[in-house]
Structure 1
Amino acid sequence: MAEFDTIRSAAGTQTAQIDEGLRAHMSKVYGTMSVGMLITFAAAWAISNLAVTADPSGAVAQLSADKYLTSLGYAIYGSPLKWVIMFAPLLFVFGLSAAINRMSAATAQLVFYVFAAVMGLSISSIFLVFTGESIIQVFLVTAIAFAGLSLYGYTTKRDLGPMGTFLIMGLIGLIIASVVNIFLASSAMTFAISVIGVLIFAGLTAYDTQKIKNTYLAHAHSGDSEWLGKAAIMGALSLYLDFINMFMMLLQLFGNRE
């Protein structure tokens, strides 16, 4: 009996250590993601301010009645460079995913933060297109929805794996439709992409959260802190992309334009 109690006590201690490690892992995931979000929106706001001037004398192009594009603004939004800026975040994601195993955790985290700044450059036009008030409102709505969906993914006992396969297939179709619509510029297609996109990224938020949790639990016994550190960064990248894309889709649907 004493031996059984000892085994049970050891098992309970091990479970408590795994639970504590999981909480620390998830805190690192959300913390890294949050810093990335801060970098993105700070970069987007700063770049949008540098791209616009109220003085027509040094302007390159007129944006509205009292706003003009600077040479930097025209290079970002009006020149062929805009295509590079548009697709640069996607290349970063593929590059980081492919090279993560050859990087240290510290290097991967630095690359993630550089990616977040590039994403800020890519979406900086939202501050020229939408009112600041509507951007804040949509951001708060996105944050509340994201928190609820991520909490569901963390706590649910349901296996979301099958749903994830369907969502990833939908995401691929969404990316293709978005690229096609760049050239078609169809408002109806934009609306459809935004509605479907919100649903896809809402589902992916729950799915990715559960996947991050399960990945940690599957490797908690390995003791490889370097690998777990890189797993946390890739988890932060997944949730960051879910948040940013859900925010952009909701902004297209509900944002008030300048």
Structure 2
Amino acid sequence: MTMLDPGERAARGLATQAEVTGLPATAPATLIEESWRDFIYAEVWTRPGLPRRPRFLVAMATAATCGLEEARLDGYVRGALKGGHLTLAELREAALHLGVYSGWGNGGKLDRAVSRVAEELGLPPAEVPPICPEPWHPQARNDRGHAEFDKVMTFPPGPPATPFLEGINNFVFGEMWCRRGLDEPSRRWITLVGVCESGAEIPIRSHIHAAMASGNCAGGEMLEFVLQYGTHAGWPKASRIQAVVLEMIDKVAKGLPWHG
């Protein structure tokens, strides 16, 4: 059996940390900092089963929602921009999407981090289309929301019979998911962090199923997502999500719906 070299792992962790955060990495001073270098950066971020772009999206979303310090969140934003994994305009869209699925306060945390890093890097403001620049017909937005929900969730919605359901149909799907400044697979990863953090059973199960049933996310990528999510959210939360992902991989493979 080949022996693993701790020195090689430490070097790989420092190199990956520098790439992920966009800043030179320094040697850890404490045990928890050492675990960031030797496990999170050296082992998790270097795994080939999930590309860097979704890893950045998951990391930023969990950093904003799980109480990580600003420096960690800023580091992910900086690394994503400097590495060319996400544009400034895409990050503005990501902040809006996170606001819907994790609350506007958490979306604001990400948005402010994007602003700080953009100023630090001397980037010009991102050109993003406004939410809704022209007058619209309520029925047209309603119909657009129904169609987008059906496409995203892979099953038709029910009637928006309450103010909350109207908000989901009219804004979440009728406006936000229709914005093409951030691709659908990228929106999936942010959504998954939001629903996993919510602890709400129906959104967790339905969105994990839809991510794979839509073809946006492969089963192996979803398993990698659980590991990436768990590094910030913690193993107990991730263990629950792991069970749902395994169940939904089986259901999607058999052509079964998420419920029942």
- TM-score bin (small chain): under 0.3
Q: Which has the larger radius of gyration?
A: 1
Q: When you count helix as a share of all residues, which structure comes out higher? A: 1
TM-score in terms of structure 2 length: 0.21
Q: RCO higher in 1 or 2 (8 Å CA, sep ≥ 6)?
A: 1
